[in-house]
């Protein structure tokens, strides 16, 4: 080995030894962790773990508030109707015409007397009598007053006839039975009925007078049931 190589090896050895001495000194002079530092570290770890474990879960709180409920109108109407039905009182023939606004008139006569008197004549006399007593007559209303005339000739000569005159008010009403409901035209008012005998020549006068008499009976009951 030449002289140059020997000098370089010696220098490298010196630098290596010096580095080892410095590293050893730094290592042995490094301060060791104290008890206080160890406790603080442990507390940090412990607190972190505790916070994760006892984390509160949000709770749903329900508050019950009493609010007056609005009753549907159909329930109120049903209650009022039931109350009126339970409080209803019985009325006789002269009291059943209450709260009737108007009526229409229809006359029925048999073929046997049509050559002596017409259906229109009987109907006109009945209506005229009602108007005279301030009973409203309306051809479009559903309250129908019918005047029915029945008659027959008792013998073949046909010199006289026997007659019967009845008047009645028909209305479309509800019929309740066993929880079921139907609608039908029913008789709510009826005259007392008139029977008689008349000669052929007097048929027109007799029938018209009897029709007027029935109209007066209806008007009287109507006015009694609708007193102001």
Alpha helices in 67-225 (DSSP H): 73-87, 119-132, 203-225
**Phi and psi (nearest 5°) for 212?**
-65, -40
Question: What pLDDT was estimated at residue 24?
Answer: 53
39 in a structural domain: no
Is 142 in a helix, a strand, or coil? coil
* Cα dihedral 204, 209, 210, 212 sign: positive
Q: Which residue has the tokens 């209303």?
A: 141
Helix 119-132, helix 203-225: angle, nearest 10: 40
3 state DSSP class of 215 = helix
Domain annotation covers residue 12: no
Question: How many domains is the chain partitioned into structurally?
Answer: 1
Residue 81: its pLDDT value, please?
A: 86
Asked if residue 211 belongs to a domain, the reply is yes
Per the domain annotation, does 173 fall within a domain?
yes
pLDDT in tens, the chain (228 residues): 555 455 555 555 555 555 555 555 555 555 555 544 445 544 544 444 445 555 566 677 777 777 777 888 999 999 998 899 888 888 888 789 999 999 999 999 999 899 999 999 999 999 999 999 999 999 999 999 999 999 988 888 888 899 999 999 999 998 889 989 999 989 999 998 888 999 988 999 999 999 999 999 999 999 999 987
Q: Report if residue 198 sits inside a domain.
A: yes
pLDDT of residue 132: 96
Contact 167, 146 (CB under 8 A): yes
Burial class (CB in 10 A: 0-12, 13-18, 19+), 176: exposed
What was the pLDDT predicted at 119? 95
Residue 76 lies in a domain: no
Using CB atoms within 10 Å of the CB of residue 220, give its burial: 0 to 12 exposed, 13 to 18 middle, 19+ buried. middle
**d(C-alpha 3, C-alpha 161), whole Å:** 178
pTM given for the model: 0.65
Q: What is the pLDDT, as a whole number, of residue 13?
A: 54
Q: Identify whether 8 is part of a domain.
A: no
Containing domain of residue 133, as a range?
Answer: 105-225
Q: Is the residue at 14 inside a domain? A: no
Give the number of C-alpha atoms closer than 13 A to the C-alpha of residue 53, restricted to the C-beta side.
6
């Amino acid at each position: 080995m030449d002289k140059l190589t020997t000098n370089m090896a010696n220098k490298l050895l010196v630098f290596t030894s010096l580095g080892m001495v410095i590293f050893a000194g730094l290592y042995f002079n490094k301060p060791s962790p104290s008890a206080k530092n160890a406790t603080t570290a442990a507390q940090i770890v412990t607190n972190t773990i505790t916070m994760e474990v006892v984390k509160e879960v949000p709770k749903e709180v329900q508050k019950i508030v009493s609010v007056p409920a609005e009753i549907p109108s159909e329930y109120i109407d049903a209650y009022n109707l039931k109350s009126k039905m339970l409080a209803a009182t019985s009325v006789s023939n002269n009291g059943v015409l209450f709260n009737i606004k108007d009526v229409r008139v229809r006359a029925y006569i048999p073929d046997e007397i049509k050559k002596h008197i017409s259906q229109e004549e009987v109907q006109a006399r009945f209506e005229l009598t009602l108007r005279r007593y301030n009973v409203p007559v309306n051809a479009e209303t559903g309250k129908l007053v019918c005047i029915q005339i029945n008659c027959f000739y008792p013998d073949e000569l046909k010199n006289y006839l026997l007659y019967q005159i009845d008047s009645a008010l028909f209305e479309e009403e509800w019929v309740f039975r066993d929880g079921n409901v139907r609608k039908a035209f029913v008789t709510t008012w009826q005259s007392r009925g008139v029977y008689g005998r008349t000669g052929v020549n007097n048929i027109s006068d007799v029938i018209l007078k009897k029709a007027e008499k029935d109209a007066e009976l209806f008007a009287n009951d109507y006015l009694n049931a609708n007193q102001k």
